[in-house]
Amino acid sequence: MIYLCPFCGDQLGQELRDGVPDCSHCHRVFNSSKYHQLLAASWVMRKCPQADVEQLAHSTKLSSEDALFVYTWVGQELYTHDDFQAHLKKLGVSAKIVP
């Protein structure tokens, strides 16, 4: 579930489970892929730095493993948005929607 824009961190008008919306703030188009879910979760982590892995997983509906990944790199290693985005690309996390 994505409720913050993966690119600017602005609140979306409606939560995204599946599909291709755009952000009313930065006007970027994105989809519900793992890549965009992780980017959106990184904004959640930045906006709620006191959150633990379980809280992050619960609020974003990520798996425990994905929440731990975001928590580690953004919450503990303090990756910026650009650093985290580059890290995801380096790891080969795809922005394509996989059924």
Q: Is the dihedral of CA 61, 63, 64, 66 positive or negative?
A: negative
- Residue 75 · residue 51 · CB < 8 Å: yes
Q: Specify the pLDDT at position 95.
A: 87
Q: What is the pLDDT of residues 22-80, one digit of tens each?
A: 899 999 999 989 999 999 999 999 999 999 999 999 999 999 999 999 999 999 999 99
Q: Which has the closest alpha carbon to 66: 38, 43, 88, 94?
A: 38
What is the value of pTM for the model shown? 0.90
The distance of Cα 82 from the centroid of its chain, to the nearest Å, equals: 13
Residue 84 scores a pLDDT above 70: yes
Rounded to whole angstroms, the Cα distance separating 88 from 82 reads 10
Token pair listed for 77: 């290693």
Residue 15 scores a pLDDT above 90: no
pLDDT category of residue 99 using cuts at 50, 70 and 90: low
